[in-house]
């Protein structure tokens, strides 16, 4: 009886070990596959991480840690952290505060989630990466991971070691983070904002249409005047021919 129980115990332990090994092997294989494939889901935008990143950015600007960012703090942040001039810091501070003297974390979150940059597509982020950050060599990775505007706060704060996915180090990492902070907090300057380009293009098209319409009307009016002038000449020519005929008839009757 004792021998039988020992055999059963040994078989049970062996079976348990085998099942555990199968589970561990499957789990390891799955993790390896995820790491090798680098699926989009692996880096899907996470609202929690996004909010934590915005809170960190607010903390960077809020020097006195009172939970509110005033004009002085935002201007100092632009000058010292973004390395921009006094006039630029004033302009960006106005953009940041809008009509609010103090900006809380909740207000900054609302500003971010309603901004154009938040809704950028992958292509728009890549345009920013090339045109503003000047890192064209990172375009394949950004496209591979399908980086949209919602990832930019994570890049700005390197949330959850986000930048490790891109193997960006040193000066390039610093530049990317600074530019990401700038665009998340202050948006694009008007010169780089696509909406301004759209307005300029639309206005140009309208001006062209107005110019072409005016030119057509002037040309049409000129053609009408020329036709009228030619018609008057034909009338004068007929009257002149009639007058010549009468003169000839008068000479013939005299003779």
Mean pLDDT of the chain: 75
CA-to-CA separations, 40 to 25, 142, 148, 157, 207, in angstroms, rounded: 24, 11, 11, 20, 45
pLDDT of residue 183: 93
pLDDT of residue 255: 61
pLDDT of residue 36: 38
pLDDT of residue 212: 72
Q: How many CA atoms lie less than 13 Å away from 122 in the CB half-sphere?
A: 13
pLDDT at 45 over 90: no
Stronger pLDDT, 250 or 233, i.e. the higher one: 233
Query: By the 8 A CB rule, do 171 and 70 touch?
Result: no
Query: By the 8 A CB rule, do 56 and 77 touch?
Result: no
Stronger pLDDT, 229 or 45, i.e. the higher one: 229
pLDDT at 117 over 90: yes
**By percentage, how much of the chain surpasses pLDDT 70?**
69
Query: By the 8 A CB rule, do 92 and 74 touch?
Result: yes
The structure's pTM equals 0.58
Each residue's pLDDT tens digit, 90-107: 677 777 787 778 889 999
**Least confident piece of the model among 22-26, 75-79, 157-161:** 22-26
Each residue's pLDDT tens digit, 148-199: 999 999 999 987 677 887 778 888 888 999 999 999 998 886 555 554 455 5
């Amino acid at each position: 009886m004792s021998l039988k129980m020992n055999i059963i115990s040994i078989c049970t332990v062996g079976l348990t070990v085998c099942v555990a090994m199968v589970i561990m092997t499957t789990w390891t294989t799955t993790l390896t596959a995820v790491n090798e494939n680098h699926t989009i889901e692996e880096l899907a935008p996470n609202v929690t991480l996004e909010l934590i990143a915005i809170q960190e950015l607010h903390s960077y600007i809020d020097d006195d840690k009172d939970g509110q960012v005033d004009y002085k703090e935002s201007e100092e942040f632009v000058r010292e952290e973004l390395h921009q001039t006094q006039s630029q810091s004033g302009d960006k501070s106005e953009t940041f505060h809008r009509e609010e003297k103090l900006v809380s974390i909740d207000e900054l979150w609302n500003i971010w989630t309603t901004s154009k940059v938040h809704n950028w597509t992958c292509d728009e982020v890549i345009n920013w990466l090339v045109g503003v950050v000047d890192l064209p060599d990172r375009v394949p990775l950004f496209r591979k991971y399908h980086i949209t505007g919602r990832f930019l706060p994570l890049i700005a704060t390197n949330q959850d070691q986000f930048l490790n996915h891109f193997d960006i180090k040193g000066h390039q990492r610093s530049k990317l983070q600074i530019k990401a902070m700038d665009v998340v907090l202050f948006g694009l300057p008007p010169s780089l904002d696509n909406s301004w380009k759209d307005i300029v293009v639309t206005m140009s098209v309208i001006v062209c249409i107005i110019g072409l319409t005016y030119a057509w009307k002037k040309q049409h009016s000129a053609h009408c005047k020329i036709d009228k002038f030619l018609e008057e000449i034909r009338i004068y020519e007929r009257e002149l021919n009639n007058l010549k005929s009468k003169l000839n008839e008068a000479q013939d009757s005299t003779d």
